Structure 1
């Protein structure tokens, strides 16, 4: 079930909690890859020192955060990792939720191949979590 537009108009703290357990689906190469969101992080606007929009800073990179909720804010970090955020809240109020960790629900071999992980290696949610540990 798709989330309604109203879902994305809530504040980042609420949305971060509400996104836990939701399923993300991505169509890749004719397949649907499904993952469950198990960890999020809220960025609460211009007063949040960890936010790219802190102190109302606007740039080409973070302009997406200032749009109405319901769109993706994806950026490259350390030159190698793309971080996926969900923009939430009203236009002009730059809030977003970082999707920090997911649990694969299908297509595990495809995910490993896409992440350049050898098939025999375990897949981790993050550096410290085993795939089978649930965090919600």
Structure 2
């Protein structure tokens, strides 16, 4: 499939509640420029985290802090946090005006730069399963060389990490489930805010 490398997502795409935008992000291309070259992946799994009403979201749990202030800021910015030493999660800030929130990118499939992905994962296995290579937010960040240095990076107008229009995913091809690893949440634990491409 021919990719239009110049048609990037506009900021207005992210001006809505995360639960509305998260399924629309499926099929979009995520581009990361590393010092060895460009990597492009197709997003296949996302989770919405929606502000103060969501007790699974950093905003709902901790309020506005030095760590979470990015989620209150301009949409389309990267929000990156660590869950373990050298294990990171990539989110894009997404919310209505005067609100806060974001979308976690949980999984993707390689489009360009597979050799770099395998190198970053320290994998010499050329017979990889395309659906499992980037299945998990920590693995995705490792494969794309994403760390806290990119926290706050503009994913709309910046050139280090950004989105392309990618492919259109039909509603019938999207599965909705509760989010993963949020047992600490009470009110929002069973909300169907995880979105997965059916074929992934």
TM range (shorter): 0.7 to 0.9
| Gapped regions of structure 2 (runs ≥ 5) | 1-6, 137-197
2:9, 2:96 → 1: CA distance? 16
Which residue in 1 is equivalent to 2:15? 9
TM-score normalised by L of structure 1: 0.85
Bigger relative CO (Cα 8 Å, ≥ 6 apart): 2
| Gapped regions of structure 1 (runs ≥ 5) | 128-132
C-alpha RMSD over aligned residues? 2.0
1:134 equivalent to 2:140? Answer no
TM-aligned CA deviation for residue 51 of structure 1: 0.2
1:14, 1:31 → 2: CA distance? 33
Instruction: Compare the two structures and name the one with the higher strand fraction.
Output: 1
1:3, 1:120 → 2: CA distance? 32
8 Å Cα contact 1:12/1:96 also seen in 2? yes
Cα deviation code 1:1-45 (max 9, x no counterpart): 111111011110111011000001111125221100000000011
1:120, 1:24 → 2: CA distance? 22
1:44, 1:84 → 2: CA distance? 15
